[in-house]
A and B are shown apart, each in its own frame.
Chain A
Amino acid sequence: MYQVILYLHVAGALGFFLFHGATASANFGLKREGGATQAELLIRTRELGSAGAFVSMMVMLISGIVLGFMGRWWGDVWIWVSIALILIIGAIMGGSGRNYFDRVSYAVDPDKYKAPKDKKDDPEPPTEEDLAVELAKGRPVMLTVTGIAALALFLWLMMFKPF
C-alpha cells in the first residue's frame, strides 16, 4: 500500500511540473511580448495549466501527508524542513509570480480580472503605459532559478532523508 501511495505522490509531482510549465513559459513570453493582445493570449495559455497544476499539487500534498503517517516520518526533521520549504517557496511564488500575473491580467482586461489592492480605488481604467510598466516587472529567470533550487532541495530531503 505504501508503494501505491508513493506512486501517486511521484505521479502528482510529475503532473504538477508538467502543468506548471504552462505558467513558467507564459511568464517568459510576457516579459518578451509587449501589447495587450499578446499578453491576453499568454495569460489564457497560463490559465490552461492552472487547474491541472492545482489538482496535481493536491494529489502530491495529500499523498505526502498519508505517506508521513504510513512511514512514521513525522518524528524526523527532514519532513518538517520540507513543509517549511513548501511554505517559503509558496510565499515567493505567490508574492512575486502570481501577483505579477494578477497585475498584468488586470491591466489587460479590467472588466474580467480583479483589481490589485493598490488599484481598487483608482477610478481610471489601466492604460497601455500601465500594461507596459506591469509587463516590465516580470522576473521569470529569478522565479525559475528559485523554483529549481527548491526542487533540488526537496528531492534531496525526500530521497536521502538526511536527519
Chain B
Amino acid sequence: MYDAILFLHVASALGYFLVHGAFASVSFALNRETEPRRIEALESAMDRAGPWSLGSLLTIVASGIALMVMGNWWRDGWTWLSLLILIVIGVVMVLFGGVHLGLRLGTEEMPAEGERWHRTVQWGLRLGNRIPMFLAVTGLTALGLILWLMMFKPF
C-alpha cells in the first residue's frame, strides 16, 4: 500500500510540473506583449491549467501526508522542513507569480494601500520583467531542495 501511495505521490508531482510549465512559459511570454489580442491568445494557452494544477497539488500534499503517517516519517525533521519550503514557495508564487500574471492579464487588481500584502506585492512588482526569472530560479531551487530532502532524508 505504501508503494502505491508513493507511486501516486511521484506521478502527481510529474503531472503538476507538466501543468505548471504552462504558467511558467506564459509568464515569460507575457513580458514582451502589450496587444490585448495576443495577450488573450496566451491566456487561452493556460486557461484550462488552473484546475489540473490545483488537483495535482492537492494529490501531492494528501499523498505526502499519508506517506508521512504510514512511514512514521512525521518524527523526522526533513518532512517538516519540506512542508515549510512548500508553504513558503507557495506564498512566493501566489504573491509574485499569481499577481504578476493576474495584473498582466487584467484578471487581478493591485491590493490597495493599507490592504494585506500591498507592500509585498509592490516590492515584487519592482522586479518588473524580471519576475518570471526570479520565480523560475526560486522555484527550481526549492524543487532541488525538496527533492534532496525526500530522497536523502538527511535528518
Q: A: which residues have CB within 8 A of B?
A: 3, 6-7, 10-11, 13-15, 17-22, 24-26, 28-29, 32-33, 37-38, 41-42, 44-46, 48-49, 148, 151-152, 155-156, 159-160
| Cα–Cα, bound, A123→B144 (Å) | 51
Given A22-B22, A22-B24: A151 touches B33 (CB 8 Å cut-off): no
Interface residues of B in 2-53 (CB under 8 A from A): 3, 6-7, 10-11, 13-15, 17-22, 24-26, 28-29, 33, 37-38, 40-42, 44-46, 48-49
Could you list 17 examples of A-B contacts with CB < 8 Å?
Answer: A3-B152, A7-B151, A11-B144, A14-B13, A17-B14, A17-B21, A18-B20, A24-B22, A28-B48, A37-B41, A41-B41, A48-B29, A49-B24, A151-B11, A155-B11, A159-B10, A160-B3
Tell yes or no: B86 within 8 A of A by CB. no
Q: How many residues on the B side are at the interface (Cβ–Cβ under 8 A)?
A: 37
Q: Closest chain B residue to A140 by CB distance?
A: B48
Measured between beta carbons, the chain B residues less than 8 angstroms from A42 are 41-42, 45
Counting chain A CB atoms within 10 Å of each CB, the highest count among B21, B26, B42, B46 belongs to B21
Contact of B33 among A6, A22, A41, A156 (CB under 8 A): A41
B147 adjacent to chain A (CB < 8 Å): yes
Verify B3–A25 contact, CB threshold 8 A: no
Docked pose: A44 CA to B29 CA in angstroms: 8
Tell me the minimal C-beta distance from A85 to chain B in angstroms: 15
Q: Is the CB of A28 within 8 A of B151?
A: no
Complex alpha-carbon distance, A15 and B141, angstroms: 12
Inter-chain contact A156/B7, CB cutoff 8 Å: yes
Are the CB atoms of A49 and B41 closer together than 8 Å? no
User: Taking chain B's interface residues, is the majority helix, strand, or loop, or is none over half, making it mixed?
Assistant: helix
The answer to whether B21 touches A19 (Cβ under 8 A) is yes
Q: A10-B151, A18-B20 are in contact. Are A29 and B14 (CB under 8 A)?
A: no
Chain A residues with CB below 8 A from B3, complex form:
159-160
Number of residue pairs across A and B with beta carbons under 8 Å? 113
**Interchain CB contact under 8 A, B38 and A38:** yes
Q: In the docked arrangement, what's the CA distance between A148 and B16, Å?
A: 12
Are B24 and A29 in contact (CB-based, < 8 A)?
no
Q: Contact at B7–A14, with CB atoms within 8 Å?
A: no
Q: Which of A3, A6, A17, A45 contacts B18 (CB 8 A)?
A: A17
**A107–B56 alpha-carbon span in the complex (Å):** 36
- Residue B117 at the chain A interface, CB threshold 8 Å: no
How far apart are B5's CB and chain A's nearest CB, in angstroms? 11
